[in-house]
Structure 1
Amino acid sequence: MKSYDVAIIGSGPGGYVAAIRCAQLGMKTAIIEKYSTLGGTCLNVGCIPSKALLSSSHHYEEATKHFEDHGIEIPGDIKVNLEKMIGRKQAVVDQTTGGIDFLMKKNNIDVFEGLGSFIDATHIKIEGKDAQEIEAKKVIIATGSKPSNLPFISLDKERIITSTEALKLKEVPKHLIIIGGGVIGLELGQVYRRLGAEVTVIEYMDRIIPTMDAGLSKELNKVFKKAKCKMMLSHKVQSVERNGDEVVVKAENKKGEVVEFKGDYCLVSVGRKPYTEGLNLEAAGVKMNDRGQVEVNEHLQTSTSNIYAIGDVIKGAMLAHKAEEEGTFVAETIAGQKPHIDYNLIPGVVYTWPEVAAVGKTEEELKADNVAYKVGQFPFRALGRARASGDIEGFVKILADKTTDEVLGVHMIGARCADLIAEAVVSMEYRASAEDISRMSHAHPTFAEAVKEAALAATDNRALHV
């Protein structure tokens, strides 16, 4: 029987990063993955493939709607080759997952393909291609999540689908009905709207991206409406039925009326749930909570002290970069170091165009906590760089403590916000004030100038270009 210092179950962003960090710290490390490719949901059927399709569809939209504005004329019709687009997406996935294989070899990490389950707290049974039993002093559970569903919906994965199937459709839907106005539904909705599908988004709450700042929700809703997407807010789905190639969705609006929607595809995008099936956690004494998550303490230890859990399988935002931070945290904890994670400073991003990004507290949270704050906001349309590229939608909003001026939250929607949010994270990590940001030189012309201008606006309303 092979013995290890650490064994990680699951090879997503949390698992493979934990494995690399453990190996860097001198531990003999193994990683167990039930699928034939490493990288988990994120690399295979999540973050990476969805961004590949978002990028391809964005190029198509630019060519059909905006090239002429730039003096670029393309003779003849511009057509979508969906098969080639999906093929490119898969090539990106294959290259990325192959990179994880390389990193495992580089760091001398043993990879086992098969389903890992606990025999007891230190022994793991692997069933599959590399069937065997191994021993590990420490174990990290990093098994991630899978798409949630509503109890009355039968997913046939052909017409009534999850995000996994939406990434490999054989045709552009005529009418794609999306249940759920969260990140995944909106990103995939924008992909297929750009490619010509009629899109209807049905959201139970009174706004899309409901966990983010209300200002971002309102602005992104405008973007989708401008693209002629039907945004059905405050609608409670009651039934989803397939009749041949047609899907019928019935939902109740806030007036109590039942509204019917008909399309050829329905994407069920109502969140994700922890994946723990087959782990046999009871054999290791690992406790779960009533939400199906693995319970952990502040050190991310489970109820069995030598077993840790990270990522989507525990409480908190289901984000790849959150899982990565936790993977590093656990590896360094096992090594006797004193790492830390500030969960308030884990940014959230929606990769639509314009992009949406945020870190820290929302206005709603500050009001609920009775925190006195001030707001500085700056529109992208006032930036020379935004006008030069034609990306004028959106704004940056900075929330700062009314007394100390410390930045408490940054919320932005616009071009390159997925990258710009890192400036806010760095600033808040060092507890910067709005004035600190306003006094830093930002290159001109750039989108980043909007961050400086918003900071100036929060500092005695001193924005220069509005």
Structure 2
Amino acid sequence: MVVGDISTGTDVLVIGGGPGGYVAAIRAAQRGLDTTLVEKDNYGGVCLNRGCIPSKALITGADLAHEAGNAEEMGIHADPAVDMAQMVDWKDGIVDQLTGGVEKLCKANGVNLVKGTATFKDENSVRVAHGGEGQGSESIEFDSCIVATGSRTIQIPNFDYADDPVLGSKEALDMDSIPERLVVVGAGYIGMELSTVYAKLGTEVTVVEMLDDVLPAYEDDISKVVKRRAKDLGIEFNFGEGASEWRESSDGGITVVTETEDGEESTYPADKVLVAVGRSPVTDTLGLDAIGLEPNEGGFLETDDYARTDIDHIYAVGDVAGEPMLAHKAFKEGIVAAEVIAGEPAALDYQAVPAAVFTDPEIATVGMTKDEAEEAGFTPVVGQMPFNASGRAMTTGHTEGFCRIVADEDSGFILGGQIVGPEASELIAELALAVEMGATLEDVAATIHTHPTLAEVIQEAAENAEDQAIHTLNR
């Protein structure tokens, strides 16, 4: 029996329960607005269920196993055995706890939760198709709508994720055994993070990348540190090659075929192939034709400083609203959209959005690079501190990389920073705050930092920019 179509109304309709969506829904409800959140899958979106959280869990597990088995210099001799199925169960437990927490937070704040897929009927209503046979649908009318449908993994020809040996990032996080050989297609942040995980767990990893280096979004001296460490872990790189197909091989594994721009083929034996060539925004489920809203050439919904699309009462946040595709950017956009709808003086400012890559060592950046500062008309001054001059870094056994601060020479205002090294994802928060609040080199250099800590590299970099560094040579 099919349940008939019912109709309800709400002040704010949020489509998608990922980082941007659930945060927007909670903030809108906190502002006294009747808020409805439609989500077809688990709450928390890709980040919580199939991305940020599960990948960091496996990174932690792989790091622990690798460190325990490679600490002879410290006098520690061990040969850890890794139960991959148990590690995945542990990871799943974390995800389940957090997704349940998101649902409880939404309910506790008075958000109406609806399971299903929302499609626009017109500019003020959607039809929600409920999952499962006989579940029917309902119509929801709204005054304002926030689209937060996120992104999905890009699929390339001849590599179907439904095929057992072909992995997307989701499948790579759910394997209950460690493959002996893994080919990774793509050397961006997802490819590099997961390559590192499996190399540390004992997999023979080969990376193929159409471009000429890893992590093309970052400066060469930063990506070089990560690539050097990856090679130390045994990861093999092959640049200027794109994956064209895979074939079953006689040894029970597969062969991955790649091709250069000139048509030259290479083959690589593997047991699994991970495709990590990026993500694309999800807009095809929304029925945008019904409201006359068109994505741009990149597939994103363009928005203004208030997260509004070309239709004033329809907003877009998170991955669907454009680069950078970061959960914390989605958090902020969701808050701004909800507060704007509530009539508050909120607006977006992207100058201090940090980014992090959880490779070994980690990468984290915020604000401008030196080149970007010059292009913006500043006269930049740069200060740098290597981790191999940090006492705390030495005691952890992780001394690769450096911290760099970019500032305006005339005013001393900090414009940005780049860190590649241990705990970079945590350390970048200080530089993000410095950029956000308009701090100067003098402010950071004069701030007493706890000794011995990794955070001292930020103070030293600021002092280095002023030719006043103590623990590293001045420029």
Give the TM bin, normalised by the shorter chain. over 0.9
Going from structure 1 to structure 2, the CA distance change for 1:285 and 1:257 (only over 3 Å counts) comes to closer
Aligned to 1:331, what secondary structure does the other structure show? helix
Alignment-derived partner of residue 186 in structure 1: 192
Alignment-derived partner of residue 394 in structure 1: 401
Structure 2 residue 436 is matched with structure 1 residue 429: yes
Structure 2 residue 419 is matched with structure 1 residue 412: yes
How far apart are 1:217 and its partner, in Å? 0.7
Structure 2 residue 23 is matched with structure 1 residue 17: yes
Deviation digits for residues 107-136 of structure 1, max 9, x if unmatched? 011111111111111112111147322111
Deviation digits for residues 43-91 of structure 1, max 9, x if unmatched? 100101001101111111111112x4444455xx421101101111100
The letter of the residue matching 2:100 is G
Distance of 1:214 and 1:368 partners within structure 2: 18
8 Å CA contact retained: 1:287, 1:302? no
Distance of 2:85 and 2:147 partners within structure 1: 36
Aligned to 2:394, what secondary structure does the other structure show? helix
Structure 2 residue 177 is matched with structure 1 residue 171: yes
4+ residue segments displaced more than 6 Å? none
Structure 2 residue 306 is matched with structure 1 residue 289: no
Equivalences for residues 152-163 of structure 1 within 5 A: 153-163=159-169
8 Å CA contact retained: 2:414, 2:435? yes
How far apart are 1:386 and its partner, in Å? 1.1
Moved more, 114-123 or 453-462: 453-462
8 Å CA contact retained: 2:389, 2:471? no
Deviation digits for residues 121-174 of structure 1, max 9, x if unmatched? 111211114732211111100000001123454444421221011011132111
How far apart are 1:405 and its partner, in Å? 2.4
8 Å CA contact retained: 1:302, 1:308? yes
8 Å CA contact retained: 2:125, 2:139? yes
Q: What is the number of equivalent residue pairs in this alignment?
A: 461
Can you give the 5+ residue segments of structure 2 that lack an aligned partner in the other structure?
A: 1-6
Alignment-derived partner of residue 63 in structure 1: 68
Equivalences for residues 38-437 of structure 1 within 5 A: 38-66=43-71, 68-74=72-78, 77-129=79-131, 131-151=137-157, 153-233=159-239, 235-243=240-248, 245-252=252-259, 257-366=264-373, 368-369=375-376, 371-437=378-444
Deviation digits for residues 185-209 of structure 1, max 9, x if unmatched? 1111111111110111222222211
Aligned to 1:158, what secondary structure does the other structure show? coil
Distance of 1:436 and 1:395 partners within structure 2: 20
Aligned-pair identity in percent equals 39
Alignment-derived partner of residue 4 in structure 2: none
Alignment-derived partner of residue 32 in structure 1: 38
How far apart are 1:247 and its partner, in Å? 3.3
The letter of the residue matching 2:327 is A
Indicate which of 443, 450, 453 corresponds to 2:457: 450
Going from structure 1 to structure 2, the CA distance change for 1:274 and 1:109 (only over 3 Å counts) comes to same
Aligned to 1:53, what secondary structure does the other structure show? helix
8 Å CA contact retained: 1:287, 1:303? no
8 Å CA contact retained: 1:237, 1:249? no
How far apart are 1:456 and its partner, in Å? 0.8
8 Å CA contact retained: 2:43, 2:103? yes
Distance of 2:371 and 2:269 partners within structure 1: 36
Distance of 1:144 and 1:353 partners within structure 2: 27
Distance of 1:5 and 1:424 partners within structure 2: 38
Moved more, 147-156 or 429-438: 147-156
